[in-house]
Amino acid sequence: MNSIQELFQKKGENLLSIYFTCGYPKLNDTTKVISALEKSGVDFIEVGLPYSDPLADGPTIQDSSQKALENGVNLDIIFEQLMMIKDTNKTPLVLMGYLNQMLKYGEDKFCKKVVECGIDTLILPDLPMVEFENHYQYLFDKYGITNVFLITPHTSDERIRKIDSYSKAFIYVVASASITGAKGDISNNQIAYFERIKNMNLQSKLIIGFGISDKQTFTTACKYANGTIIGSAFIKYLGKKGTKKVDDFISPILN
Amino acid sequence: MKSKFHPDENGYFGQFGGAFIPELLYPNVKELADNYIQIIESEEFQTEYKSLLKDYVGRPTPLYLAKRLSEKYGAHVYLKREDLCHTGAHKINNTVGQILIAKKLGKTKIIAETGAGQHGVATATVCALMGLECTVFMGEKDIVRQAPNVTRMKMLGAKVVPATSGSKTLKDATNEAIRYWIQHPETFYLIGSVVGPAPHPDMVARLQAIISEEIKWQLKEKTGKENPDTIIACVGGGSNAAGAFYHYLDDEDVELIAVEAAGLGVNSGESAATSQLGEVGIIHGSKTILMQDEYGQIVEPYSISAGLDYPGVGPLHAFLYEIGRAKFMSATDQEALDAAFELTKIEGIIPALETAHALAVLPKIKFKKDQVVVVNLSGRGDKDLEIYTKYLED
Q: How far apart are CA B212 and CA B232, in angstroms?
A: 12
Chain B residue with CA closest to A177: the answer is B183
Mean pLDDT of B44-50: 98
Among A29, A43, A57, A120, the active-site one is: A57
Q: How far apart are CA B57 and CA B50, in angstroms?
A: 10
Mean pLDDT of B142-170: 93
What pLDDT does A226 receive? 97
**Average pLDDT over all residues of chain B:** 96
Q: How far apart are CA B200 and CA A68, in angstroms?
A: 32
pLDDT digits over B283-320, tens only? 999 999 999 999 999 998 999 998 999 999 999 999 99
pLDDT category at B29 given cuts 50, 70, 90 is very high
Minimal Cα–Cα distance from A66 to chain B, Å? 8
Greater model confidence, A86 or B145: A86
A189: exposed, middle or buried (Cβ count in 10 Å: 0-12, 13-18, 19+): exposed
What pLDDT does B1 receive? 57
Of chain A, the percentage scoring pLDDT greater than 70 comes to: 97
pLDDT category at B240 given cuts 50, 70, 90 is very high
Q: How far apart are CA B8 and CA A121, in angstroms?
A: 31
Residue B171 neighbours by CB under 8 Å, 6+ apart:
A53, B139, B283, B284, B298, B300, B301, B310, B311, B312
Decide if A130 touches B, using CB distance below 8 A: yes
A-contacting residues in B 180-209 (Cβ below 8 Å): 182-185
B-contacting residues in A 52-91 (Cβ below 8 Å): 52-53, 55-56, 58, 62, 66, 69, 74-76
Q: Do the beta carbons of residue A240 and residue A24 sit within 8 Å?
A: no
Helix B91-104 vs helix B118-130: angle between axes, to the nearest 10 degrees? 40
What pLDDT does B291 receive? 97
Q: How far apart are CA B157 and CA B127, in angstroms?
A: 9
SS3 content of chain B, % helix, strand, coil (to 5): 45, 20, 35
Which segment of A64-68, A180-184, B325-329 scores lowest on mean pLDDT? A180-184
pLDDT exceeds cutoff 80 at A178: no
Q: Which amino acid is at B328?
A: F
pLDDT category at B16 given cuts 50, 70, 90 is very high
ipTM above 0.90, yes or no: yes
pLDDT digits over A206-246, tens only? 999 988 999 999 999 999 999 999 999 999 999 999 999 99
Q: Please say if A46 is a catalytic residue.
A: yes
**Average pLDDT over all residues of chain A:** 95
Chain A residue with CA closest to B9: the answer is A130
What pLDDT does A181 receive? 67
pLDDT digits over B130-142, tens only? 999 999 999 999 9
Q: How far apart are CA A178 and CA A167, in angstroms?
A: 22
Chain A residue with CA closest to B291: the answer is A104
Q: How far apart are CA A28 and CA B209, in angstroms?
A: 52
Q: Do the beta carbons of residue B172 and residue B166 sit within 8 Å?
A: yes
Q: How far apart are CA B137 and CA B369, in angstroms?
A: 47
* SS3 of residue B287 by DSSP: strand
Q: Please say if B214 is a catalytic residue.
A: no
Cβ separation of B295 and A104 shorter than 8 Å?
A: yes
pLDDT exceeds cutoff 60 at B367: yes
pLDDT exceeds cutoff 70 at B336: yes
Number of helical (H) and strand (E) elements in chain A, helices listed first: 13, 9
pLDDT digits over A55-92, tens only? 988 889 999 999 999 999 999 999 999 999 999 999 99
pLDDT category at B344 given cuts 50, 70, 90 is very high
Compute the CA torsion angle A97, A102, A107, A108 (nearest 10 deg): -70
In sequence order, what E strands does A77-214 have?
Answer: 93-96, 121-123, 146-148, 150-151, 170-174, 205-209
Q: Which of B171, B183, B296 sits opposite A101 (nearest CB)?
A: B296
Q: How far apart are CA A156 and CA B180, in angstroms?
A: 22
With residue A133 as reference, give the H or E element that holds it. Answer: none
Among A13, A46, A126, A141, the active-site one is: A46
Mean pLDDT of A169-190: 81
With contacts defined as CB-CB under 8 Å, which chain B residues touch A98?
Answer: 282, 296
pLDDT digits over B178-232, tens only? 999 988 888 999 999 999 999 999 999 999 999 999 999 999 999 999 999 999 9
What pLDDT does B185 receive? 84
- Which alpha helices (DSSP H) does chain B contain, by range? 26-41, 43-52, 67-73, 91-104, 118-130, 140-145, 147-155, 170-183, 200-208, 210-223, 239-245, 274-277, 315-322, 333-347, 353-359, 385-393
Cβ separation of B166 and A66 shorter than 8 Å?
A: yes
pLDDT exceeds cutoff 90 at A179: no
Substitution target from B15, B137, B282, B284 for chain A, most A beta carbons within 10 A: B282
Decide if B42 touches A, using CB distance below 8 A: no
Q: Please say if B91 is a catalytic residue.
A: yes
Q: Which of A104, A131, A154 sits opposite B18 (nearest CB)?
A: A131
What pLDDT does A184 receive? 67
With residue B62 as reference, give the H or E element that holds it. Answer: none
What pLDDT does A186 receive? 83
Q: Which of B313, B310, B305, B352 is nearest to B333 (CA)?
A: B305
Minimal Cα–Cα distance from A105 to chain B, Å? 6
Minimal Cα–Cα distance from B366 to chain A, Å? 38
A6: exposed, middle or buried (Cβ count in 10 Å: 0-12, 13-18, 19+): exposed
Q: How far apart are CA B286 and CA B237, in angstroms?
A: 12
Going by the DSSP 8-state scheme, the letter that residue A176 receives in this structure is: S
Q: How far apart are CA B1 and CA B94, in angstroms?
A: 23
Chain B residue with CA closest to A156: the answer is B27
Q: Which of A138, A62, A141 is nearest to A98 (CA)?
A: A62
pLDDT exceeds cutoff 60 at A182: no
